[in-house]
Structure 1
Amino acid sequence: MLKRFKTVIQQSPLLKVTSFNSFSVVIKMMTGLGVSKLTAVFLGPQGLAFIGNMRDALELFHKFSSAGLANAAVKYSAENKSNSKAFSSFLSTLVWSGILACTLVMAIIFFFSEFINAFIFGSRDFVFIIRVMAFVLPLHVMNIYLMSFLKGFSEFSKVIKINIASHLLNFLLFAILVFALDLKGAILSVVLVPSVMLVFTLHHVRVYFGRLNSFSLREFSSPMLKNLGQFAFMTLISSASFPLVFLGIRNFIINNLGEVEAGFWESMMRISNYYLLFVLSLLNLYILPKLAEAQTKKGFRDIIFSFYKQILPLFVLGLIVVYLLRDLIVRLIFSEEFLPAADLFLWQMLGDFFRVLALVMVYQFHAKKMMWHYILTDLFLALGLYVSAVYFIPEVGLEGVVIGHALTYLIYFVIILSIFSKTLFFHRA
Structure 2
Amino acid sequence: MLKQLKKIITASPLLKVTSFNSVSVIIKMITGLGVSKLTAYFLGPQGIALIGNFRNFLNIAHNFSAGGLERAVVKYTAETENIQKQQKTFISTLLGIGFGVCALVGILIFSFAKPINKLLFFEKDFVAVIQLLAFILPLHVLHVYVLAMMKAFEKFNDIIRIHIIGHLLNLMVFAFLVYYFNLQGALFTLIIIPSVLVFFSLYYFREKWSIFKLFSWKYIEKKMLNNFGHYALMALISSISFPLVFLGIRSLLITELSEEAAGFWEAVNRISSYYLMFVLSILNLFILPKLIKAKSNKDFKRIVFNFYKQIIPVYLLGLILVYFIRKPLILLVFTEEFLPAENLFLYQILGDFFRIITLVMVYQFHAKRMTLIFILTDLFLAIMLFASSFFMIKKIGLEGAVIAHFITYIAYFLVILSYFRKIFLFPLFRKSA
Contact kept? 1:120, 1:247, Cα under 8 Å: no
2:89 is aligned with 1:89: yes
Alpha-carbon deviation of 1:238?
Answer: 2.3
Match of 1:250 in 2: 250
Q: Distance in 2 between matches of 1:102 and 1:393?
A: 38
Corresponding residue number in structure 1 for 2:333:
333
Q: 1:343 to 1:66 in 2, by over 3 A?
A: same
Aligned equivalents of 2:15, 2:396: Cα separation in 1: 42
Q: Shift of the alpha carbon at 1:240?
A: 1.9
User: How far 1:32 moved relative to its partner?
Assistant: 0.1
> 1:130-141, aligned counterparts within 5 Å?
130-141=130-141
For 2:136 and 2:252, how far apart are their aligned partners in 1? 30
C-alpha distance in structure 1 between counterparts of 2:362 and 2:149, whole Å? 21
What are the superposed Cα offsets for residues 194-227 of structure 1, whole Å, 9 maximum, x if unpaired? Answer: 1111111111111111112311111111111111
The 5 Å alignment of 1:10-409 reads 10-409=10-409
By how many angstroms is 1:258 displaced?
Answer: 2.1
Q: Which moved more, 1:120-129 or 1:10-19?
A: 120-129
- Once the two structures are superposed, residues 368-414 of structure 1 have per-residue CA deviations (whole angstroms, 9 ceiling, x without a partner) of 01111100100111111111112211221111111111101100000
Distance 2:253 2:327 in 1: 23
Instruction: Give, in angstroms, the shift of residue 357 of structure 1.
Output: 0.9
Counterparts of 2:309 and 2:171, CA distance in 1: 35
Aligned to 1:418: 418
CA contact (8 A) 2:151 2:289 kept: yes
**Paired residue type of 1:267:** A
Could you tell me how far 1:426 is from its partner in structure 2? 2.3
- 1:14, 1:286 within 8 Å by CA — same for their partners in 2? yes
Q: CA deviation at 1:331?
A: 0.4
Contact 2:151 2:285 in 1 (8 A): yes
Given that 1:162 and 1:200 are in contact with CA atoms closer than 8 Å, whether structure 2 keeps it comes out as yes
Q: Does the aligned pair in 1 maintain the 2:354–2:413 contact within 8 Å?
A: yes
Letter of the 1:303 partner, please give it. Answer: I
- Identity, % of aligned positions: 53
Once the two structures are TM-superposed, the CA of residue 427 in structure 1 deviates from its matched residue by 2.3
Residues 80-125 of structure 1: CA deviation (Å, up to 9, x unaligned): 1122221121111111111121111111111111111111112221
Supply the AA of the counterpart residue of 1:275: Y
Contact kept in structure 2, 1:392 and 1:403, CA below 8 Å: yes
- Aligned pairs, number: 429
| Deviation for aligned residue 1:9 | 0.5
1:420 Cα deviation from its structure 2 partner = 0.7
TM-superposed CA distance for 1:364, in Å, is 0.1
| Distance in 2 between residues matched to 1:35 and 1:230, nearest whole Å | 36
Q: Could you tell me whether the CA contact under 8 Å between 1:291 and 1:303 is conserved in 2? A: yes
C-alpha distance after superposition, 1:269-317 (max 9, x if no partner)? 1100001111010000000000000001110010000000111111111
Please state how far the C-alpha of 1:229 moved relative to its aligned partner.
0.8
SS at match of 1:198: helix
1-structure distance, mates of 2:258, 2:320: 31
**Whole-Å separation in 2 of the counterparts to 1:391 and 1:427:** 38
Offset, 1:255: 2.7
- CA distance in structure 1 between the partners assigned to 2:239 and 2:188 by the alignment: 23
CA apart distance, 1:265:
1.0
Residue 129 of structure 1 contacts residue 188 of structure 1 at CA under 8 Å; is this kept in 2?
yes
Contact persistence 1:354–1:413 (CA under 8 A): yes
Unpaired runs of at least 5, structure 1: none
Q: Residues 321-366 of structure 1, C-alpha deviation per residue, up to 9 Å, x if partnerless?
A: 0000000100011111111111110010111011001000000000
Query: Is the Cα contact below 8 Å between 2:261 and 2:398 reproduced in 1?
Result: yes
Would you say the 8 A contact 1:92–1:215 is kept in 2? Answer: yes
SS at match of 1:213: helix
Contact 1:63 1:240 in 2 (8 A): no
2: CA distance, partners of 1:15 / 1:335: 35
> Per the alignment, in what secondary structure is the counterpart of residue 182 of structure 1?
helix
Deviates more, 1:310-319 or 1:94-103: 94-103
Corresponding residue SS for 2:420: helix
List runs of 5+ in structure 2 lacking aligned partners: none
1:246 Cα deviation from its structure 2 partner:
1.1
Please give the alpha-carbon distance, in whole angstroms, between the structure 2 residues aligned to 1:412 and 1:390: 18
TM-score w.r.t. the length of structure 1 is 0.98
Is the 2:326–2:345 Cα contact (8 Å) retained in structure 1?
A: yes
Q: What is the rounded CA distance, in whole Å, between the counterparts of 2:355 and 2:230 in structure 1?
A: 25
Amino acid at match of 2:69: L
